[in-house]
């Protein structure tokens, strides 16, 4: 298949007019175009051609939550995500009882095997992002505090085993766990350790990053504010160049000015756009459950009924990327990298995902000049929108 007349997003984060060649579900070198007349040719009509998006932090959509713990839920989630141009996912777990978490992880592992065997359509399940249960009560946000526990090496290993390696991020509030540094040092070669739902001050956060934690869950949200005498987790991320940070760009969670300032402060190589979407995404306004707690959704805003705390978002990553560009002034070239390349690298999947390069999986999105979704390809096959 050849997709002609597109502006192709390159690994140098630039758009270049050209064409894309796909064969056997992967991108091919343009030079290898055969004279085969039976080859399907698609006119891209001048669209932007970008890699399929990868959301490494969201909970659900279309009425389903990853923590429903069923293969059906994961299958429906992957279908919806692919239909909006998100072709790789690493959904997040909530703070739930240990047994339930272990069950959710093992269901995900068996879904992944089934998806590979049966070549299921929909986004690829590339990982799992564990938001809880090692978090802080003070910064619990929409997580259920009854299920918060202390971290230890054994439980972390249990998560990796139950998920058969699918768990790629484990969140910790270092100020709440006396052995946080030991756990970070003991696990850092097996999984990314993140600071999540934490009230840590600068020194505590910096010590965790120095010990090997390398990721910050939804920067600014569920952590202390960044102020001139108390820089907190945000300051520690700024001073730790190896740390990636998630940003929810739904237009509700972070003021556009702060998003712009954050890009200037951190650079764009380690910013990762996420949706943090919950099950109401792609559904009408109303009341829904998140981690067992009741949430009311009105437009983009999802908040706990009990106390009004923000409870994830009701938008998908494609909408967040558009919001970052159109309402927050982030250049398209930057926003695309933060929704494709950077998450692929954070997951350790850049060899197969995250850019339009020969040999990688042909997961591709075409957007018109207004960033409307025109076509999505997954493994080189057209996805129904
Ligand atoms: Zn959260």
Question: Average pLDDT in the 192-207 region?
Answer: 98
pLDDT at 36 over 80: no
pLDDT over 80 at 142, yes or no: yes
Say if CB 51 and CB 353 are below 8 A apart: yes
Separation CA 232–CA 203 (nearest Å):
8
Q: Tens of pLDDT along 326-376?
A: 999 999 999 999 999 999 999 999 999 999 999 999 999 999 999 999 999
Could you tell me what percent of the chain has a pLDDT over 70? Answer: 98
Tokens encoding 110: 């068996």
> Is the pLDDT confidence value at 292 over 90?
no
DSSP letters, 239-250, are: T-TT-EEEEE-S
pLDDT in tens, 84-137: 999 999 999 999 999 999 999 999 999 999 999 998 889 999 999 999 899 999
Q: For all residues of the chain together, what is the average pLDDT? A: 95
**For residue 132, what pLDDT is reported?**
84
Q: In this model, does residue 38 exceed pLDDT 90?
A: no
pLDDT of residue 39: 83
Categorize the per-residue pLDDT at 69 as very low, low, confident or very high, splitting at 50, 70 and 90: very high
* Proportion of the chain in helix, strand, coil states, percent, rounded to 5: 30, 25, 45
Is the pLDDT at 293 greater than 90, yes or no? no
Which pLDDT value is given to residue 32? 57
Rounded distance between C-alpha atoms, residue 161 and residue 305, angstroms: 35
Mean per-residue pLDDT for 255-267? Answer: 97
What DSSP letter does each residue of 337-381 carry, written as one string? Answer: HHHTHHHHHHHT-TTTSSS--TTSB--EEEE-TT--EEEEEETTE
Q: Which of 31-45, 161-175, 240-254, 342-356 has the lowest mean pLDDT?
A: 31-45
The per-residue pLDDT for 31 is 62
Per-residue pLDDT at 34 exceeds 60: no
Asked if pLDDT for residue 216 goes beyond 80, the answer is: yes
pTM (2 d.p.)? 0.96
Radius of gyration in angstroms for the set of CA atoms belonging to the chain, rounded to a whole number: 20
| Between 307 and 199, the higher pLDDT residue | 199
Report the pLDDT value the prediction gives residue 277, as an integer from 0 to 100: 95
268 C-alpha to ligand 1 centroid (Å): 22
pLDDT at site 33: 60
Between the CA of 217 and the centroid of ligand 1 the distance, in Å, is 7
Span 265-270, average pLDDT: 97
Domains of the chain as residue ranges with CATH:
2-48+371-382 (no CATH), 53-351 (3.20.20.140)
CA dihedral 22, 27, 30, 34 (to 10 degrees): -40
Contacting residues for 150 by C-beta, under 8 A, at least 6 apart: 134, 176, 177, 178, 179
What is the mean predicted confidence (pLDDT) over 130-157? 92
Element containing residue 319 per DSSP (H, E): helix 317-326
Question: What distance in Å separates the CA atoms of residue 379 and residue 217, rounded to the nearest whole number?
Answer: 29
Q: Is the pLDDT of residue 312 over 90?
A: no
| pLDDT at res. 141 | 85
DSSP 256-305: HHHHHHHHHHH-SSSEEEE--B-TTTTS-SEEEEETTEEEEEETTEEEET
Answer yes or no: are the C-beta atoms of 155 and 128 closer than 8 Å: no
160: which residues sit within 8 A by CB, 6+ positions away? 167, 190, 191
Measured in Å, residue 382 CA sits from the centre of ligand 1 at 33
Overall average pLDDT of the 53-75 stretch: 97
How far is it, in rounded angstroms, from Cα 206 to Cα 204?
A: 5
Give the residue numbers marked as catalytic. Answer: 276
Report whether pLDDT(225) > 70: yes
- Centroid of ligand 1 to alpha carbon of 207 (angstroms): 22
DSSP-derived secondary structure letter, 171: E
CA 138 to centroid of ligand 1, rounded, Å = 13
Question: Which of the residue ranges 40-54, 140-154, 189-203, 243-257 would you say has the lowest mean pLDDT?
Answer: 140-154
Q: What is the H or E stretch that residue 170 is in?
A: strand 167-172
Tokens 């990553």 locate to 317
| Strands ordered across the beta sheet of 310-313 | 286-290, 293-298, 301-304, 310-313
Structure-block tokens of residue 270: 């380690």
Kindly report the number of other CB atoms within 10 A of residue 45's CB atom: 12
What is the secondary structure of 219-235 as a DSSP string?
TTTTS----SS--HHHH
Expressed in angstroms and rounded, the spacing between residue 285 Cα and the centre of ligand 1 is: 21
Q: Is the dihedral of CA 140, 144, 147, 152 positive or negative?
A: negative
């Amino acid at each position: 298949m050849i997709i002609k007349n597109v502006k192709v997003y390159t690994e140098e984060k630039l758009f270049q007019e050209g064409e894309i060649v796909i064969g056997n579900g992967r991108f091919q070198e343009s030079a290898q175009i055969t004279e085969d007349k039976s080859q399907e040719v698609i006119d891209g009509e001048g669209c932007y051609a970008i890699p399929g998006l990868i959301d490494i932090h969201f909970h659900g959509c279309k009425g389903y939550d990853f923590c429903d713990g069923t293969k059906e839920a994961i299958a429906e989630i992957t279908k919806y995500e692919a239909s909006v141009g998100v072709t790789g996912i690493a959904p997040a777990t909530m703070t739930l009882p240990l047994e339930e978490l272990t069950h959710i992880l093992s269901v995900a592992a068996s879904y992944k095997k089934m998806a590979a065997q049966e070549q299921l359509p929909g986004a690829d399940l590339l990982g799992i992002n564990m938001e809880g249960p090692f978090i802080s009560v003070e910064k619990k946000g929409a997580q259920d505090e009854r299920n918060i526990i202390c971290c230890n090496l054994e439980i972390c290993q249990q998560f990796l085993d139950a998920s058969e390696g699918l768990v790629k991020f484990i969140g910790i509030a270092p100020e709440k766990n006396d052995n946080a540094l030991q756990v970070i040092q003991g696990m850092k070669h097996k999984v990314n350790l993140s600071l999540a739902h934490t009230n840590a001050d600068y020194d505590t956060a910096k010590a965790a990053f120095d010990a090997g934690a390398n990721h910050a869950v939804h920067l600014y949200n569920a952590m202390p504010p960044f102020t001139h005498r108390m820089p907190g987790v945000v300051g520690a991320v700024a001073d730790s160049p190896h740390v990636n940070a998630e940003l929810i760009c739904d237009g509700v969670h972070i003021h556009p000015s702060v998003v712009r300032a954050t890009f200037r402060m951190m650079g764009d190589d380690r910013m990762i756009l996420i949706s943090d979407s919950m099950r109401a995404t792609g559904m009408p306004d109303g009341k829904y459950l998140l981690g067992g707690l009741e949430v009311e959704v009105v437009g983009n805003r999802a908040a706990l009924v009990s106390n009004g705390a923000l409870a994830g978002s009701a938008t998908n990553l494609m909408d967040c990327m558009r919001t970052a560009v159109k309402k927050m002034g982030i250049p398209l070239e930057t926003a695309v990298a933060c929704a494709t390349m950077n998450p692929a690298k954070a997951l350790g999947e850049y060899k197969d995902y995250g850019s339009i390069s020969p040999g990688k999986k042909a997961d591709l999105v075409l957007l018109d000049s207004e960033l409307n979704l025109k076509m999505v390809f997954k493994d080189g096959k057209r996805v129904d929108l």
